[in-house]
Structure 1
Amino acid sequence: MDALPNTADGLPGTADALSGTADALSGSAAFRDGIVSSLQDLVLQTADAEDFFKELAVFSASLLAPPGGEVICNVTVARRKRPLTIASSTPRAREMDELQYSFRDAPCLSAMRTGETVYVGDVASERRWPEYARAVAVHGVRSLLCVPLELEGDSSAALNIYSSAVLGFSVEDIARAELFGEQSAKTLRLELRLTQLRDAKEDLEAAMKSRTAIDIAVGVIMAQNRCGQATAMTILRKASNSRNIKLRDVAAGVIQSISPDPELRTHFDE
């Protein structure tokens, strides 16, 4: 947050200056509130993580474009130090992001590694990543901005914004992008947690469906062989091992031998 103007020693610090600063701070708060509301809507309205990330990239491009300008955006996530482009506002944006993976280092990779925003105002004069700069210049990129997104554990992420204009981002543009990055990182962490919970739920459902099929098959074997549950389970496991077939698939075969109804081996109520 910018400091209030210094009024000491006759420096500019009039009521008008203070009022202008207050308006700027109020504008930042309104911008932040608008971001939070929009990101919450994205989480609630998208069907899954893939849709969320896609909409996030498109929303970023529309929100962070300079007045009268146009940008393209993508989101990169690195897990166990392996970066992956998870969403792009356009196919060209994805191409620009994936291009960096062929180099040892690049602006986005640096932003994720250091946690610091990286701005390349003119790729033609870039000296930190000259090979990458020349590569994106071929595709019409003249400046770019990479904002790190703070995740959890060994994961990191960055929002990458590309412009076809030299010095395509002002100080104000960069500040807005960083504020957006701060808020979107929180939403990104939430979406990743929700994705983990959905995956865990699906895994649990699959396990319970398999368990249901196995239990039914054991009951069939008990009835056919007039044996106890433990003996029936042993028979089922031996069949699985001897045929090198998963236990649930053997169970499905046992059930199908007495009833072609597939619901018997997949029945599960939430």
Structure 2
Amino acid sequence: MTSDGLEHESVIGQPVVGQPVVGQPAVDQPAVDQPAVDQPMEEELVDVFLCMSGLLLSEQTVGSALELVTSLAHSTLPSTSAAAVTLVDERGRRTSVAATDPLAEQADSLQYELQEGPCLTALAHERVVRVHDVAREQRWPRWSQAVLPLPVRASLTVPVVIAGTCMGAIKVYGRHPGSYGAHAERVLTLFAQQAGVLIANMQSLEDARRMSQELQQALISRDTISTAKGIVMAREGVDEESAFARLVRTSQRSGKKLHVVAASIVQAVPRRGR
């Protein structure tokens, strides 16, 4: 049985970190849920993507962004019981986030526990995976049997790939067999693309903030060490080089970082009363 899989994405607008890649065609029996006449996708989802464009320009967290994506996917695709996103970290650990209903987390958890299921296959092969009827599904027999007590009879999973790296997958679970066909696949692929753009932009923003915080901390540490040197120079009558050498020796003997030693010296100096 296969396991692990991710979603593809592409962009409307310019992502900060690289453009998500669209996945391969779905693997599954043909479903029967296409509308009689497919509306043009640009008109059909214009309000959805306007909402997302506003989110791209804001400073909301990745979690908030993904919650918007899954809630819109849930409401846009008929017969959907729940939607969620699976994220994969640098160690390959999978986590379900932004679930619109605990049902999605339950269905996902069974896949993680049994190491098989449509989401894991989508992640492993980086392609869309569609389940027409869970009760008749034979590709993942243990998961199919385990999920039957839940109101899940169909599913659709689209991987998200950003700049050549698999980041996760977005999936919807349907309450009726045949809930998702080619039309639903195209719609969810667009949501996957938007999720990729959001993740890329939000990660870039978080990286920039982290770098700023690290720089700020480095400057604070430098100032603290400089102040501690001045205290040692005044207290022991040594020059700047000797004072710094004493701080270094204290750091080595105590096993504490230099800025921690310096901070303790500064804090130990009695402050003048106001």
- Bucket of the pairwise TM-score, normalised by the shorter protein: 0.7 to 0.9
**Stretches of structure 2 lacking an aligned partner (at least 5 in a row):** 1-36
- Partner of 1:115 in structure 2? 126
Runs of 4+ in 1 over 4 A off after TM superposition: none
- Partner of 2:109 in structure 1? 98
Cα distance in 1 for partners of 2:102, 2:245 equals 54
- Partner of 1:79 in structure 2? 89
Deviation at 1:146, TM superposition (A): 0.4
Report the structure, 1 or 2, having the larger helix content: 1
- Partner of 2:248 in structure 1? 237
Cα distance in 2 for partners of 1:91, 1:43 equals 27
SS of structure 1 residue aligned to 2:170:
strand
**Larger-Rg structure:** 1
**Stretches of structure 1 lacking an aligned partner (at least 5 in a row):** 1-22, 262-270
Would you say how many aligned residue pairs link Structure 1 and Structure 2? Answer: 235
**Stretch of structure 1 that moved more, 247-256 or 93-102:** 93-102
2:68 counterpart of 1:58: no
Structure 1 residues 83, 29: CA separation in 2 closer, same or farther (over 3 Å shift)?
A: same
**Stretch of structure 1 that moved more, 212-221 or 80-89:** 80-89
- Partner of 1:42 in structure 2? 55
Q: Which amino acid aligns with 2:118?
A: P
Structure 1 residues 189, 143: CA separation in 2 closer, same or farther (over 3 Å shift)?
A: same
Cα distance in 2 for partners of 1:145, 1:31 equals 19
TM-score by length of 2: 0.75
- Partner of 2:4 in structure 1? none
Task: Please show how residues 148-227 of structure 1 align to structure 2 within 5 Å.
Answer: 148-227=159-238
Deviation at 1:229, TM superposition (A): 2.5
Which string of whole-angstrom CA distances, capped at 9 and with x for unpartnered residues, describes residues 24-78 of structure 1? 56x3122454343222222344532333333333333223x31xx3431111122
Cα distance in 1 for partners of 2:132, 2:38 equals 25
Residue of 88, 93, 102 corresponding to 2:99: 88
Cα distance in 2 for partners of 1:73, 1:43 equals 21
CA contact (8 A) 2:81 2:172 kept: yes
Structure 1 residues 175, 153: CA separation in 2 closer, same or farther (over 3 Å shift)?
A: closer
Q: Which amino acid aligns with 1:76?
A: T
TM-score by length of 1: 0.76
2:178 counterpart of 1:146: no
Cα distance in 2 for partners of 1:45, 1:165 equals 37
Structure 1 residues 244, 176: CA separation in 2 closer, same or farther (over 3 Å shift)?
A: same
CA contact (8 A) 2:160 2:166 kept: no
2:118 counterpart of 1:127: no
Deviation at 1:132, TM superposition (A): 1.1
Structure 1 residues 234, 56: CA separation in 2 closer, same or farther (over 3 Å shift)?
A: farther
Cα distance in 2 for partners of 1:99, 1:202 equals 39
Structure 1 residues 28, 154: CA separation in 2 closer, same or farther (over 3 Å shift)?
A: closer
Kindly, what percent of the aligned residue pairs are identical?
26
CA contact (8 A) 1:46 1:52 kept: no
- Partner of 2:26 in structure 1? none
